[in-house]
């Protein structure tokens, strides 16, 4: 036995020596030691020697995988489940109940039309006071006038829009009215595919990319009779407001970016270039630009809206959602685009029973006490005023807290999945073509993510599982809660758990730029948070303020 052990030891040493002297092998004992240092690990020399041959085989496997063609459209087989253990959901479906229509007339100053809500524009079209074609041309002219100033448009789809608008007018004239979006112009963030129109993802390596299919969201809006006028800017591969053609501007302050990554949808809607737009959020990409531009947005629950035809960044966190002028506009658009499509396997078939007359005061409404108490600066007073306003409207606010888990330490799941989604971009070196380079940019983040071990990624997802369960326990006694838009950890935490959020304007800074507040609810409870957010918005006029684009 002793002889066999000695023989085995000699064999391992000889193997290690051969590996270290083989100039064709990129992996040596020292390579392993350096890799261990990078990952905060330490194994003995004997254990390192044992790994040599296996690590070489792994490298061969990696080379094979990198040669296998995988487009961004191919999802991961590991599907994220945001539903806590034991949670039950409403299954009864009811017809959406919008606010009672108000008699609307064309304004004397047509520029005022730019800031009408979907409901108001829909009434004008339905009552034949304006045609869809005339309304569409009106918005397209505004895009041509202000689009360059805001740097918010990538592709103007004028021919398609006129075709769709004329079709809407014919149908409405024939008595075939499809609903509140019939004939209403809109635009989409340029991560959604449209047949015959390029999809750039805001990044130079993809600026001539043509994915010849219609995204599910685009199909559903077309079926509702909406009119597509443009594809709008987005932060490069969904980060920030900088894209390959420039930086999207805040309509309230042109020296300032509009934030991202739904930069174009927020800026264009706030500036009255479209009545609404489709954005997306992985980690603040609807909330942040809506806050910056003073516009209303809905980040739905994970699993509500199909991402078929949308650029994938992080499969377990990406969410599409409407950016609109009012809360009820968000309800109208969401009602049209939500639900399973038979393609995106992450979707849940659950009802959306929005009721504008919901007795929302009966809901259990909480607020993140610590986040409000520790907030600093002028936002603190504005957010405190929201709490007082809600109390005056009849809300019995309950202080709550969210779980204290290492959410920032597991947020690397975003860059890991993003690195996988854009692996070819990194490996090929085409990331050099991207506009943003440096420390806090996607090219560097994707490269760094290559050094995150699969084991740590899985461990992060296990902590995320605990986060879902603990958050559900913390929210057992509330239906909706309020959170500061830019303070505390609620934005990251609820993106990791998949909870829905409505962001609405709540005032202006001393510099004259907008601020906002967030209403967050339980999974798939968009109807409740929209009703509560609407009650607040209806009691204020911040959403009726508009930037002066000619100043």
Write the DSSP string, 275-325.
Answer: SEEEEEESSSTTHHHHHHHT-EEEEPPTTSB--TTB--S-TTT-EEEEEES
Catalytic hit among 261, 262, 316, 487: 261
Q: Give the number of residues written for the chain.
A: 551
Q: Which of 384, 382, 280 is nearest to 337 (CA)?
A: 280
* Tokens linked to 108: 């004397």
Taking residue 397's Cβ as centre, other Cβ atoms within 10 Å add up to 17
One domain for residues 190 and 44? no
One domain for residues 204 and 312? yes
pTM for the whole structure? 0.94
CATH number of the domain to which 484 belongs: 3.90.1300.10
3-state secondary structure labels for all residues of 484-497: ECCCCCHHHHHHHH
Q: Which of 447, 459, 465, 482 is nearest to 360 (CA)?
A: 482
pLDDT in tens, 97-119: 999 988 899 999 999 999 999 99
Residue 551 confidence (pLDDT): 77
Q: Which residue numbers in the chain have pLDDT < 70?
A: 1-25
Distance CA 475, CA 96 (A): 26
Longest CA–CA separation in the chain, Å: 101
Which residues, 6 or more positions from 85, have their beta carbon under 8 angstroms from its beta carbon? 469
Residue matched to tokens 């079926």: 223
One domain for residues 19 and 155? no
Q: Which of 172, 51, 50 is nearest to 123 (CA)?
A: 172
Task: Report DSSP state, residue 396.
Answer: -
* Residue 32 phi, psi (nearest 5): -65, -45
One domain for residues 149 and 203? yes
Q: Is residue 460 part of a domain?
A: yes
* Tokens linked to 396: 């019995």
pLDDT in tens, 447-461: 999 999 999 999 999
One domain for residues 34 and 169? no
Catalytic hit among 117, 132, 285, 487: 285
Q: Is residue 79 part of a domain?
A: no
- 547 near 518, Cβ under 8 Å? no
Q: Is residue 418 part of a domain?
A: no
One domain for residues 24 and 155? no
Q: Known catalytic residue: 280? A: no
Task: Report DSSP state, residue 346.
Answer: T
One domain for residues 118 and 62? no
One domain for residues 11 and 144? no
Tell me the three state secondary structure of residue 48.
helix
Q: For the purposes of burial, counting CB atoms within 10 Å of the CB of 196, is it exposed (0-12), middle (13-18) or buried (19 or more)?
A: exposed
Q: Is residue 235 part of a domain?
A: yes
Last residue of a domain, one of 11, 36, 67: 67
Q: Is residue 539 part of a domain?
A: yes
Q: Known catalytic residue: 435? A: no
Q: Known catalytic residue: 203? A: no
Distance CA 129, CA 120 (A): 11
Q: Is residue 35 part of a domain?
A: yes
Tell me the three state secondary structure of residue 199.
coil
One domain for residues 229 and 302? yes
Residue 12 confidence (pLDDT): 42
Dihedral sign for Cα 180, 186, 191, 197, please.
Answer: positive
Last residue of a domain, one of 67, 83, 118: 67
Q: Which of 300, 360, 325 is nearest to 533 (CA)?
A: 360
One domain for residues 136 and 32? no
507-513: long-range contacts at Cβ-Cβ below 8 A with a sequence spacing of 24 or more?
507/382, 507/385, 507/542, 508/294, 508/542, 508/545, 509/378, 509/379, 510/378, 511/253, 512/252, 512/253, 513/250, 513/252, 513/253, 513/256, 513/292, 513/294
CA distance to 92, 287, 290, 292, 414, per residue, from 503 (Å) = 27, 6, 7, 11, 22
Catalytic hit among 117, 132, 189, 316: 189
Distance CA 346, CA 349 (A): 10
Strand partners, 156: 230
Domain that holds residue 37: 2-67
Helices H / strands E in the chain, number of each: 19, 15
One domain for residues 22 and 117? no
Q: Is residue 390 part of a domain?
A: yes
501-508 and 276-281: which strand pairing?
unpaired
Distance CA 212, CA 323 (A): 25
One domain for residues 46 and 194? no
Number of domains composing the chain: 2
* Tokens linked to 359: 């007795």
Residue 101 confidence (pLDDT): 82
Q: Is residue 310 part of a domain?
A: yes
Strand partners, 501: 299, 520
Q: How far is C-alpha 293 from the geometric centre of its chain's CA atoms?
A: 16
Strand partners, 298: 502
Taking residue 546's Cβ as centre, other Cβ atoms within 10 Å add up to 17
């Amino acid at each position: 036995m002793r002889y066999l052990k000695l023989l085995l030891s000699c064999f391992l040493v000889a193997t290690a020596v051969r590996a270290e002297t083989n100039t064709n092998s990129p992996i040596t004992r020292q390579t392993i030691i350096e890799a261990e240092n990078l990952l905060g690990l330490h194994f003995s020399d004997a254990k390192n020697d044992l790994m040599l041959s296996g690590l070489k085989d792994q490298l061969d496997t990696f080379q094979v995988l990198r040669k296998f063609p995988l487009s961004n459209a191919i999802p991961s087989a590991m599907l994220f489940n945001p539903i806590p253990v034991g949670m039950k959901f409403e299954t009864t479906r009811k017809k959406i109940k919008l606010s009672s229509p108000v008699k609307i007339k064309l304004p004397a100053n047509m520029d005022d039309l730019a800031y009408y809500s979907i409901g108001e524009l829909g009434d004008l079209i339905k009552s034949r006071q304006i045609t869809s074609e005339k309304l569409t041309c009106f918005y397209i002219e505004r895009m041509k006038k202000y689009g360059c100033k805001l740097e918010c448009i990538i592709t103007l789809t004028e021919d398609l829009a006129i075709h769709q608008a004329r079709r809407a007018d014919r149908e409405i004239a024939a008595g075939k009215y499809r609903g509140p979006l019939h004939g209403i112009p809109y635009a989409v963030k340029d991560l959604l595919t449209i047949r015959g129109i390029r999809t750039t993802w805001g990044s130079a390596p993809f600026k001539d990319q043509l994915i010849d299919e219609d995204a599910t969201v685009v199909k559903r809006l077309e079926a509702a009779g909406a009119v597509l006028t443009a594809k709008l800017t987005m932060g490069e591969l969904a980060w920030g407001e900088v894209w390959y053609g420039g930086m999207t501007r805040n309509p309230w302050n042109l020296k300032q970016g509009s934030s991202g990554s739904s930069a174009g949808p927020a800026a264009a809607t706030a500036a009255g270039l479209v009545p609404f737009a489709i954005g997306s959020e992985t980690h603040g990409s609807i909330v942040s630009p809506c806050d910056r531009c003073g516009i209303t947005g809905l980040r739905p629950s994970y699993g509500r809206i199909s991402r078929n035809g949308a650029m994938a960044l992080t499969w377990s966190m990406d969410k599409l959602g409407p950016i609109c002028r009012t809360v009820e506009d968000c309800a109208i658009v969401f009602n049209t685009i939500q639900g399973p499509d038979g393609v995106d396997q992450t979707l849940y078939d659950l009802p959306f029973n929005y009721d504008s007359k919901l007795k929302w005061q009966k809901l259990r409404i909480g607020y993140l006490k610590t986040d409000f108490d520790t907030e600093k600066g002028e936002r603190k007073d504005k957010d405190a005023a929201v709490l007082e306003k809600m109390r005056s409207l009849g809300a019995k606010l309950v202080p709550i807290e969210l779980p204290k888990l290492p959410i920032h330490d597991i947020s690397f799941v975003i860059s890991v999945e993003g690195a996988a989604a854009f692996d070819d971009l990194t490996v090929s070196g085409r990331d050099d073509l991207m506009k943003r380079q440096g420390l806090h940019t996607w090219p560097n983040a994707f490269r760094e993510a290559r050094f995150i071990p699969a084991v740590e990624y899985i461990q992060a997802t296990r902590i995320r599982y605990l986060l879902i369960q603990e958050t559900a326990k913390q929210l057992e006694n509330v239906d909706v809660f309020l959170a500061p838009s830019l303070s505390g950890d609620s934005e990251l935490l609820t993106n990791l758990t998949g909870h829905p959020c409505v962001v609405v304007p709540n005032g202006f800074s001393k510099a004259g730029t907008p601020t906002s507040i967030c209403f967050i609810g339980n999974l798939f409870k968009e109807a409740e948070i929209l009703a509560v957010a609407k009650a607040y918005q209806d009691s204020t006029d911040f959403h009726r303020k508009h930037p002066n684009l000619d100043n």
